[in-house]
Amino acid sequence: MTDRDNTYRIDIVDTVTVTASPDKTLLESLESQQIDVQYHCREGFCGACRTTLLEGEVEYTTDPLAFIDDDEILPCCCKPTNHLKIKLGF
């Protein structure tokens, strides 16, 4: 599923398409491409970075404690496992 350079495509609804590497958290990948995402704890317990996941799958590096709905992810503690379509803000 990975591209040649071993990255995943992240479509951000109504903005841009960026790339994410599987060895960084999604939040770090977005920040490295100047995408502004709200965050606080960066450890999965506050929920400030809550993002809607429209397509694709992620895997968590730590168990998310914050409340997230079935279609939401916490970029601070997950990595993409394939191409994603996400919507920032909620």
Between residues 21 and 39, which has the closer beta carbon with respect to other proteins? 39
Between residues 5 and 34, which has the closer beta carbon with respect to other proteins? 34
- Residues 80, 37, 29, CA angle at the centre, nearest 5°? 35
Between residues 44 and 83, which has the closer beta carbon with respect to other proteins? 44
| Identity of the residue numbered 53 | L
**For residues 87 and 65, what is the distance between their CA atoms, to the nearest angstrom?**
21
Backbone angles phi, psi at 6, to 5 degrees: 60, 40
38 binds other proteins (CB under 8 A): yes
24 binds other proteins (CB under 8 A): no
Q: For binding to other proteins (CB under 8 A), which residues are involved?
A: 36, 38-43, 45-48, 50, 63, 65-67, 89-90
